[in-house]
Structure 1
Amino acid sequence: MICIPVIDKNVDEALKSAEKALKVADIVEFRVDMLKNVNKDDIIKMAKYPSIITIRADWEGGAYSGDNNKRIELYKTAIENSAKFIDVELKEEKNKELVKFRNDTNSKTKIIISHHDFEKTPDYDELLKIVKKELEIGDIAKFATMAKSKKDVLNILKIVNEFEGKIIGIGMGEEGKLTRILGVDFGSILTFSSMEGRSSAPGQVDVVKLKKIWELLK
């Protein structure tokens, strides 16, 4: 799957961007942390789209710096309305609470547990520990780490391949672009791609270019 991040500041614009993105992608990621004045009704609207609802905390590289209880309540609204996915951090103390809430409400939402490192890619053994911890909590493990070498790229793809179908593995930065192109073939559930030059993380490949590369590889 190809996922395009929606990074607008205004909810109405974000919904319009999502509709446009879904003409060329399989799913969108609503970066709710980047939106201004978002409320539960807005989350309900977003949950109707094939999407990942992400409210990334500032301590994990996101833009959300408000009350964490409100953030958790917004996630619960997404779950109640069976959003396709939510993405919550491995370091979030209430991630298990969200999983329990999902189970108790019989929601269809899949919960992605994620880890981000904007400085480096941990070695293979450390990445393995991170992924195993994530899968002990949620449905899907996700990591996005800064790739600085071919060894980093190989470690990322090796981990992705070992957890095929249960993982989203990404190498950020220029060196990591190969993981964005090849990750799905190695077993990643999806890859994040930019549209019209708008990206949410370093190294995202433009969706048109990505599709052309995939065609050439086939």
Structure 2
Amino acid sequence: MICVPIVEESVEKALISAERALEVADIVEFRVDYFKEIREEDIVEIAKYPSIITIRAHWEGGKYRGSDDKRIELYKVAIENNVRYIDVELKEKRNRELVDFRDNVNSKTKIVISYHNFKETPSYNKLLDIVNKELQIGDIGKFATMVNNNRDILNVLRVIQEFEGKVIGIGMGKKGKLTRILGTYFGSILTFASMENKSSAPGQIDVEMLKEIYRLISES
């Protein structure tokens, strides 16, 4: 599954970009933290699309600097409207609250618990520990770590394979591009690809280029 991040400053532009992205991708990620203004009615609208809703906190590399209470309430609106996925950080102290809320309102939303490291890729055992902690909370574990060498690539792919079908694994940066191509072959639920030179993390491959790579692989 290919996911295109939508990184626009308004919901109007985000919806236009999402329509275009869904012509070539399976799902989109609305990076709501990029919005200059975030309203509950906007969450209701974007939840109608096959999407991940992410309101990434600034302390995890995102742009959201509003109150944590507001962020949690916006996530709850997304859950009430049965968005396909929400992405909330492992470091977020209230992530279990969102899971409990989802269960209490009988929502179909799957909750992704995520870890990001923009400097390095932790060791294989450390990554295993991180994903295990994520899966003790949410439905899907996610990690996105900076790849600095070939060993990092192997560790990312090994951990994906260990949690096949339960994880989203990403190696960031130029050296991490191989993980974006091969991750889904090893069991990552999805990979992220950019569109129109708009990306949400370093190393994302253009969606059309990624699809061509997959085509060439499948035909070889």
TM-score where L is the length of structure 2: 0.99
State the match for 1:101 in structure 2: 101
Describe the superposition over 1:151-180 as per-residue Cα deviations: whole angstroms up to 9, x where unpaired.
Answer: 000000000011011000000001100000
State the match for 2:64 in structure 1: 64
How far did residue 131 of structure 1 move? 0.3
Q: Within 5 Å, give how 1:170-185 maps onto structure 2.
A: 170-185=170-185
**Distance in 2 of aligned mates of 1:165 and 1:47:** 23
State the match for 1:43 in structure 2: 43
**Distance in 2 of aligned mates of 1:151 and 1:80:** 42
State the match for 1:135 in structure 2: 135
How far did residue 67 of structure 1 move? 0.5
Query: Which amino acid is 1:56 matched to?
Result: R
State the match for 1:55 in structure 2: 55
Please give the secondary structure, in 1, of the residue aligned with 2:130.
helix
**Distance in 2 of aligned mates of 1:36 and 1:77:** 18
Please give the secondary structure, in 2, of the residue aligned with 1:86.
strand
**Distance in 1 of aligned mates of 2:214 and 2:105:** 39
Identity over aligned residues, as a percent? Answer: 64
**Distance in 1 of aligned mates of 2:76 and 2:54:** 12
State the match for 1:164 in structure 2: 164
Query: Which amino acid is 1:78 matched to?
Result: A
**Distance in 2 of aligned mates of 1:30 and 1:196:** 15
Please give the secondary structure, in 2, of the residue aligned with 1:92.
coil
State the match for 1:110 in structure 2: 110
State the match for 1:92 in structure 2: 92
Please give the secondary structure, in 2, of the residue aligned with 1:176.
helix
How far did residue 207 of structure 1 move? 0.5
Aligned residues: 218
**Distance in 1 of aligned mates of 2:70 and 2:36:** 14
Query: Which amino acid is 1:163 matched to?
Result: F
State the match for 1:18 in structure 2: 18
TM-score where L is the length of structure 1: 0.99
Query: Which amino acid is 1:30 matched to?
Result: F
Please give the secondary structure, in 2, of the residue aligned with 1:3.
strand
User: Which runs of 4 or more aligned residues in structure 1 lie more than 2 Å from their structure 2 counterparts after TM superposition?
Assistant: none
Q: Over aligned residue pairs, what C-alpha RMSD do you find?
A: 0.4
**Distance in 1 of aligned mates of 2:111 and 2:10:** 25
State the match for 1:213 in structure 2: 213
Gaps of 5+ in 2: none
How far did residue 116 of structure 1 move? 0.2
**Distance in 2 of aligned mates of 1:196 and 1:53:** 20
Please give the secondary structure, in 2, of the residue aligned with 1:137.
coil
**Distance in 2 of aligned mates of 1:55 and 1:196:** 22
Describe the superposition over 1:41-78 as per-residue Cα deviations: whole angstroms up to 9, x where unpaired.
Answer: 00000100000000000000000011010000000000
**Distance in 2 of aligned mates of 1:92 and 1:198:** 27
How far did residue 19 of structure 1 move? 0.6
State the match for 1:195 in structure 2: 195
How far did residue 81 of structure 1 move? 0.2
Query: Which amino acid is 2:152 matched to?
Result: D
Gaps of 5+ in 1: none
**Distance in 1 of aligned mates of 2:166 and 2:104:** 22
How far did residue 11 of structure 1 move? 0.9
**Distance in 2 of aligned mates of 1:89 and 1:99:** 12
